[in-house]
Amino acid sequence: MTERATEATERGSVPQPALPALTPEERTRRIGKTSVFFGPPLACLTSGETNTMEVSGRLNRTAERYLEILREHGLDLSEPDRRCLSHICGIGFMAPLEIRELPLEVRLCRLEIAGLDKERLAEKLETANFADLVAVVESLGF
C-alpha cells in the first residue's frame, strides 16, 4: 500500500472507487460497424491516430465526454423561450458562431409568442457559457 493510502486509512477515510461513466448495459450495447464521413472536425480530432481502433477509441471517449457535458449544462427555459429558440434554430445546422449569436438572433426575431420576453431571454443567453448554449441547442434537436 502506498504511504498516502495508508495515511488515509489510518485517519479512517478510505478512498472510494470512482463510479463508472457508463452502466453495464451501456457498456455492452453493440451497434456494429458503421461508415462515418470524416469532415474537418473529426479529421482534426483524430489526426495522428494510426489505426481504426485508435480512431474508434478517440471518437468514443470524445462522445462520452460530450454527453456528460450535455448532462451538466443547459439553461432553465420556459416553453415560450424554447419555442422561440426552436424557431431560430429551425434553419438547420447550427455552427458554433451561430450558437454564440443566439442572443442577437432572439432580439432580431419577429416571432411573437404569448409569454415570451425576448429581452430577458437574450440576456439569459448572453450570460450563459458556450457549453450551456450548446446543451440548449442539442436539447431542441438541432
The Cα–Cα gap between 133 and 128 comes to 7
Residue 6 lies in a domain: no
Residue 33 lies in a domain: no
Domain that holds residue 51: 38-72
Same domain, 51 and 101: no
Residue 5 lies in a domain: no
**How many degrees, rounded to 5, is the angle at CA 119 between CA 118 and CA 123?**
115
| 32-67 pLDDT, tens digit each | 777 888 899 999 999 988 888 899 899 999 999 999
**Total number of domains in the chain:** 2
Q: Count the helices and strands in the chain (H runs, E runs).
A: 9, 0
pTM for the predicted model, two decimal places:
0.72
Same domain, 85 and 66: no
| 72-122 pLDDT, tens digit each | 999 999 999 999 999 999 877 889 999 999 999 999 999 999 999 999 999
The number of beta carbons lying within 10 Å of the beta carbon of residue 61 is 11
Same domain, 49 and 84: no
Residue 121 near residue 106 (C-beta atoms within 8 A): yes
Same domain, 112 and 96: yes
Residue 97 lies in a domain: yes
Same domain, 127 and 99: yes
